[in-house]
Amino acid sequence: MHLILFFVFAGFCLAGAVNLLLQTHPINSALSLIVVMTSLAVLYLLLGAEFLAAAQIIVYAGAVMVLFTFVVMLLNAGREERTLGSQAATRIGFPSVVALLAMLATIILHTRGLLAAHLGTGLVPATSAVDNSNLTLLSTVLFHELLLPFEVTSVLILIAILGAVALARPGHGEGTAAK
Amino acid sequence: MNESLHLWLIPLLPFVGFLLNGIFGSRLPKRAVTAISLLAPLGSLLLVLNAVAASVISAPQTCAQCGSATTSVVFPYAETVGHWISLGALNVDFNLVLDQLSLVMLLVITGVGFLIHIYSVGYMSHEEGYARYFSFLNLFLFFMTVLVLAGNVLLMFVGWEGVGLASYLLIGFYFNKTSAANAGKKAFIVNRIGDFGFLIGIFLLLANFGTLTFAEIAAKFVNSPFRLVMGPNRVLTFAHAAPLPSAGVLTAICLCLLLGAAGKSAQLPLYIWLPDAMEGPTPVSALIHAATMVTAGVYLLARTHVLFDHAPKALALVGIVGAVTAIFAATIALVQNDIKRVLAYSTISQLGYMFLACGVSAYAAGIFHLVTHAFFKALLFLAAGSVIHAMGGEQDLRKMGGLRKKLPVTFWTMTIAVFTIAGFPPLAAFFSKDAILYAAFTHGASGKILWFAGLVTALLTSFYMFRLWYLAFWGNPRTEHRHHHATPLSMLAPLIILAALSICGGWVGIEHFAAYLTPSTGKLQSVVAEANQPLELGLTLLALAVAVIGWYIAYLFYRLKPERPAQLAAALPAAHQVLVNKYYVDEFYGAIFVKPLFAISKYVLGGLELVLTGAAWLLAGIASFSGAILQRWQSGNLRSYAAWLALGAAAVLLFVLLQGTGFSFASVLRH
Amino acid sequence: MTFFHQDVPLSWYLLLSALLFSLGVVGFLIKRNLITVFMSIELMLNAVNLSFVTFAYQWHAVKGQIFVFFVMVVAAAEAAVGLAIIIAVFRARATLSVDRIDLMKL
C-alpha cells in the first residue's frame, strides 16, 4: 500500500514537473504545477504530516496557484515565442544543475541511518493520550514556543497584501510601454 | 655659590619677540611692532650686563666658606634648562654655559644687535614687511645667543643652523627680486656644505670622546694618569684617564670643524655667499654679515681650542686659510664699485685675520679683533646704509661724490671707521690688528710668512678703504643725488655710539683682554713672552707705515690724479679683468659643481617622472581593461545570472563536501 | 509484509526532492516566460518543503513541519508580491519575455 502510493504520486510529481518544463503556454504549466502540489500533499500524508497536507492543498494549490492562473489570464500571455535562448544559461547552467543533482544524490544515497517511513506513524504528541494528533503537536509548539514568529508572519502577510495592491494598481509604474 | 643669572631668558626674549611679531605683526600698529622688537634685545642686553656685574662685583656674603675674594658668580657658570637626548651613550641636555668667552661674545651680540635694531627702525620705516623684518631679526638674535651660550656641540649646532636660516630669510627679504632670492639660496646652500663638515666633526667627536659637552671634552686633555670622575651615586672616585684619541683622529675632527667654520665665516673656499648676501637690507648686512653670524666660525675655533692645540697640522691649515683668504679678498675689494661689495670683501678679509690669529694659537687676539671688528664694520655698514638711503638707493661708488657736505654726521663717523680699519692709533683696530701680527711673527718661521701676508693685507685694506672714502665723500657730486629727507635720529644715534666704541674699544689692551680670557681660551703665548718690547714696537711702526702708504696711494689715485686708476687698468687689462670678475670663482664653481648637478638631477628627475607616469598609466590601464572584461558579466540577462548562481551553488556544495564535513569521495569509492 | 506494504525508505523521498529541485532550476534557466520562471521557483520551494518534512519524520522533530508551515506562508506572500511586480513590469514593457526585460530603468 505504502509503496504503491509512493510510486504513483511520486510519478505524478515528476510528470507534472517535466510537463511544466515542456509546455509552452503558461496556463498549461500552471495546471501541471497544481498536479505537482497535490501529489506532494499526498506524500506529506504518507510521511505523517496531516496538517501540512491540508495546508498544502488549501494554501498552495488552492490559493497560490489560483493566483498564478488569474495573473496568466489577466495578462493574456500567449505562447512563448521561439527566440534565441541565453547561451550562458544553457552552457553554464545545465552542467551546474547536473553537478548539483549528482552531488545531492551522492550525499543522499550514502547517508547512513535513514529510517523508513511507515504509514500511520506520524508525529504525534508523546504525552497526551486524549488528543494525540499531529495537529495538536504542531499547534502546541507553534502557539507556545514560536508565538512571536507566528505573529510576525501574519504581519508579513499584511505587508505583502499592501505591497501587492500598491504595485499592481493601475497608474503605478506606467512607464513607456514601447520597447 | 652662584646667584642665578637666568641665562635661559637671554635667548627666550628674542624668541618671544619673533613669535609675537611673526604671528601678530602684520595686524599690530607699527609702534607696537617697534616696541616689541626693541624690548627683546634690550632685555637680553640688560641680562648680559647683569651677568657682567655679577661676575665683577665681589660678594663675599654669598659664600662664607669661599673667602673674601669671590664674586657673586664664578665662571664657568652652567645652567641646564632641560633634558634633551638620553639614548645609550649619547646624553645631551639643553645646558647653557657662561664663561668669559661667551660673555664677551654676548656683549657684542646683544650690544651691537640692539644698536642695529634701533637703526633698522629708521632705515626700514618705509619698507613693507616691517614686522616680518623685525621678527626675523629677533629670530636671528635667539639663535645666535643659543649658539654662544651652548654648553655642548649639539646645542651649538642648533644655533649654528638657526642663524643660517635667519640669514637666508633676511638675505631674501626682498623676495620679489630674483637676485635677492637667489642670494638667499646660495648663502644657505654654501653654508650647508660647511655644516656637513661640522656634522661629521660632531660624529667623530661623539665616537672618540663619548661626550659632546665642551667642559667634558676639555677635561679629557688634562694631564694626569688619574683623574676624578663622577661615579654612580654621584660619588667622586679616582679612575684611570682614558687614552686620548690619536693625533690623526684629532686632526680629522679639527679639519671637519674647520670646514664648518670656513662655511659660516666665509673663508676660502666657501666665501662666495657673502658678497651676494649684500642683497639684503643694509642693517642685516651690518648685523649678520659683519658683526655676529660670520664670527660664529671664529667663536667655534676659540671654543674648541683644546682640540686644535693638540692637532698642529689642522691649526697650521687654519692659519694658512686665514692668511690666503685675507689677501685674496683684499685684492678683489680693490676694484669693486658697489659700496656694499667693497665692505663685504673687507669683512671676508678681516675674518681671515681672525682665522690667522687662531692659526697661531693666539685665540684671545682673534677674539679681540672680533670685538673691534664688530664695532667698526657695523659702523661702516650702517654709515653706508645712511649714504645709500640719502642717495635714494644708489650703491655705485662711481656715481657718488661730495657727500661730505651733505651728510656731516655720516661723514665724520665713517671717517672714524675708515681710519680704524686702516689701523691708525689710538683707534680700536690698531691694537687688535697689532696683537695678531705680533703673535704671527713670533710663532716661528711659518708664522713670519703669515705675518707678511697680514702686512700686505693691511696695505691693501688701507688702500681700498680710503678709495671708498674718497670716492664717496670727496670731490664733486657725480650725480644729482636725490635727497628725500634728512636722516632720522634713530639712524644717526647708533652711528655715533659705534663711532665712540671704535675710538675707545681697543683701549682695554691686549694684555688685560687676554688675561681675562685665559680661563676660556688658554694663555696668549705672545703676550706671555713679554721680553720682546723693541720687536713689538718695530712691528707696530711697520704696520703703521704700511697704513700710511696705503692712504697716500689712495689719495694719489682718487684725489690728486683721478685719471690714474683708469690708466692703470688700461695698462694691465688682464689683471684688472680678473680682479673685477672676482677671479672667476663663481663661474668656476658653476661649471664644476652646479651645472653637473643640474644635469644629473634633470636626468634623475626625468627618469623618475617616466617611472611614475608609467606606473600611473599601468594602474589605470589595468583598471579599465579589467573593467571592460567584467562589464560583460553585467548583462541584465536574468537567465545568465541564474546560471552563474547555479554554478556558484554547485561549487560551494562541492567545496563543503570535500573540505568540511569529512565526507570524501574516497569513502564513496570504498562503498 | 508484502511487497507493496513495505515501508518506503526515506532516502527515496529525499531523492525525489532533489530531482524536483533540479527540475525547478532547469525550468528557471530555460523558460522564457516570466510567469513560468516564477512557477519554477515555486516548484523549488516545494521540493525543499518535502525534504524538510522527510527530516522531520527522521528526527521526530515537529519543528521541521513548523518550518514548512512558515515556508508556505512566506511563499504565499512572495507569490502575491512577485505577481504584482510582474503585472507592473508588463504594464511598462508590454512583454513577458525574460530576455527583453534587462534594464533597471522602466
**Quick one: A14 exposed, middle or buried, by C-beta within 10 A (0-12, 13-18, 19+)?**
middle
pLDDT tens per residue across span B499-545: 888 888 888 877 778 878 877 777 776 665 555 677 888 888 888 89
B118 vs B399: which has the higher pLDDT: B118
DSSP state letter for B668: H
B462-508 pLDDT per residue, tens:
999 999 998 888 877 776 656 656 678 888 888 889 888 888 888 88
Q: What ranges in B273-406 are assigned the alpha helix state H? A: 273-276, 282-286, 296-303, 305-309, 312-333, 339-359, 363-390, 403-406
pLDDT in tens, B154-170: 999 999 999 999 999 99
| Residue of B640, B652, B659, B664 to mutate, testing the A interface (most A Cβ within 10 Å of its Cβ) | B640
pLDDT band at residue B133 under the 50/70/90 scheme: very high
Contact yes or no for B637 and A88 at CB 8 A: yes
Contact A35, C38 (CB under 8 A): no
Closest Cα in chain C, distance from residue A55 (Å): 8
Q: What's the whole-model pTM score?
A: 0.67
pLDDT at A97 over 50: yes
Identity of the residue in C35, C72, C81 whose CB atom sits nearest the CB atom of A60: C72
Kindly indicate the confidence band of residue A178, based on its pLDDT and cuts at 50, 70 and 90: very low
Lowest mean pLDDT among A105-109, A116-120, B643-647: A116-120
Which residue out of A83, A84, A94, A96 would a mutagenesis test of the B interface target, given it has the greatest number of B Cβ atoms within 10 Å?
A96
State how far the Cα of A51 lies from the Cα of A161, in Å rounded to an integer.
Answer: 25
The better pLDDT of the pair B577, B176 is held by B176
Q: What is the pLDDT of residue B510?
A: 79
Size of interface A-B (CB pairs under 8 A): 54
pLDDT greater than 70 at residue B3:
no
pLDDT of residue B614: 92
- Which of B3-12, B185-194, B293-302 has the lowest average pLDDT? B3-12
- Per the DSSP assignment, residues forming a β-bridge with B94 are B82
Chain C, residues 2-61, CB within 8 A of chain B, namely 25, 28-30, 37
B20-58 pLDDT per residue, tens: 988 888 888 888 888 888 999 999 999 888 888 887 776
Cα–Cα distance measured from residue B401 to residue B475, given in angstroms and rounded to the nearest whole number = 6
What is the predicted pLDDT for the residue at B574? 80
- B335 Ramachandran zone, left/alpha/beta (phi>0; psi -120 to 50): alpha
Q: Is the sign of the CA dihedral B252, B256, B257, B263 positive or negative?
A: positive
How far apart (Å, rounded) are the C-alpha atoms in residues B284 and B294?
12
Q: How far apart are the first and last CA of chain B?
A: 102
Q: For an interface test with B, which of A80, A83, A92 has the most B Cβ atoms less than 10 Å from its Cβ?
A: A92
Q: Does position B420 have pLDDT exceeding 70, yes or no?
A: yes
Return d(Cα B51, Cα B8) in angstroms, integer. Answer: 12
Judged by CB atoms closer than 8 Å, whether chains meet at A97 and B644 is answered as no
Mean pLDDT of chain B: 84
Interface test with C, best of B639, B640, B647 (most C CBs within 10 A): B639
C51 in contact with A, Cβ within 8 Å: no
- State the smallest CA–CA distance between residue A129 and chain C in angstroms: 18
SS3 for A75? helix
Looking at the partner chain, which of C28, C29, C102 has a beta carbon nearest the beta carbon of B636?
Answer: C102
CA B471 to chain CA mean position, Å? 31
State whether residue C97 is helix, strand or coil.
strand
Share of chain B above pLDDT 90, in %: 31
Length of chain B: 671
B281-302 per-position pLDDT tens digit:
999 989 887 778 888 999 999 9
Tell me, what's the pLDDT at B153? 92
Q: Which band of pLDDT confidence, cut at 50, 70 and 90, is reported for residue B73?
A: low
pLDDT tens column, B587-603: 888 888 888 888 898 88
The per-residue pLDDT of chain A, averaged, comes to: 86
Q: Does the distance separating the beta carbons of B646 and A100 come in below 8 Å?
A: yes
pLDDT in tens, B328-348: 999 999 888 899 999 999 999
ipTM: 0.91
Q: Which three cell numbers stand for residue B198?
A: 661640522
Is B627 part of the contact surface with chain C (CB cutoff 8 Å)? no
Q: Count interface pairs A-C at CB distance under 8 A.
A: 268
Give how far Cα B448 sits from Cα of B319, B355, C45, C75, Å. 11, 15, 114, 114
pLDDT on residue C22: 95
Q: What pLDDT, on the 0 to 100 scale, is given for residue C30?
A: 86
What single string gives the DSSP state of each residue in B389-447?
A: HHTTS--BGGG---HHHH-HHHHHHHHHHHHHHHT-TTSHHHHHHHHHHHHHHTS-HHH
Does position B671 have pLDDT exceeding 80, yes or no? Answer: no
Chain A residues whose C-beta sits inside 8 Å of any chain B C-beta: 85-86, 88-93, 95-97, 99-100, 103-104, 106-107, 110
Q: How do residues C26-60 score in pLDDT, each as one tens digit? A: 999 888 889 999 999 999 999 999 999 999 999 88
Range 14-33 of A in CB contact (< 8 A) with C? 14, 17-18, 20-21, 26, 29-30, 33
Q: How far is CA B512 from CA B107, B356, B364, B519, B595, in A?
A: 17, 21, 10, 13, 52
pLDDT band at C8 (very low <50, low <70, confident <90, very high): confident
For residue A162, which amino acid is it?
Answer: L
